[in-house]
Amino acid sequence: MIIQKPGIAGTLESSDAQVTVEPGDGKIEFELESAVINQYGLQIRKITYDTLKRLGIDNVKIKIVDKGALDCTLKARIEGAVYRSCNQYNDLPWGGAIQ
């Protein structure tokens, strides 16, 4: 997939995360804000890269503001932002690229 325009998903409520994606400069640029960055920063980074890989994205600026989100929420917000940036809302690949 190709990030076509900025996309944002999620909120700043507790247990959630707000994810913003923008077209990149030829690579993945990852930025993270989290109160638990020391304990979970690496794990959040891994989930982000794994999710982007499944979606076939290697060119994106991605910013995550984490408010204590579970792994499943992080994935949901990353995918939400990506599919919004691509204007795709139907016939999504549940169980394929989304898993």
Partner 1 sequence: MKNPNMKRLRRTMMFLNAQKPGLIKDPYIYKPDSIMLDLEDAVAENQKDAARFSLYHALKEIDYHGVERVIRINGLDTPYWQEDIRCAVAGGCDAIRIPKTESALDIHLVEEKVLAAEKEFGRPEGSTLLMAAIESARGVMKALDICDASERLFGIALSGGDYTKDLQTHITGTGIELMGARQNLIIAARAAGKQCFDKVYTNLNDTEGFRKDVETIHLMGFDGKSIINPRQIRIVHEIFTPSQKDIAFSEKVVKEIDSKKAQGIGVFTVDGKMIDIAFYDGAKRTIELAKASGVYKGEL
**Which listed residue (3, 10, 52, 62) binds partner 1 by CB under 8 A?**
10
Nearer to partner 1, 25 or 91 (CB): 91
Nearer to partner 1, 5 or 27 (CB): 5
Structure tokens that stand for 3 in this block: 């990030």
Under 8 Å CB-to-CB from 85, ≥6 apart: which residues?
3, 4, 5, 6, 7, 21, 22
In the complex, what is the shortest distance from the CB of residue 90 to partner 1, in angstroms, rounded to a whole number?
A: 5
In the complex, what is the shortest distance from the CB of residue 27 to partner 1, in angstroms, rounded to a whole number?
A: 25
Taking CB under 8 A as the rule, does residue 38 contact partner 1? no
Instruction: List phi, psi (to 5°) of 43.
Output: -65, -40
Nearer to partner 1, 9 or 30 (CB): 9
Write out the E strands in the chain.
7-9, 17-23, 28-34, 60-66
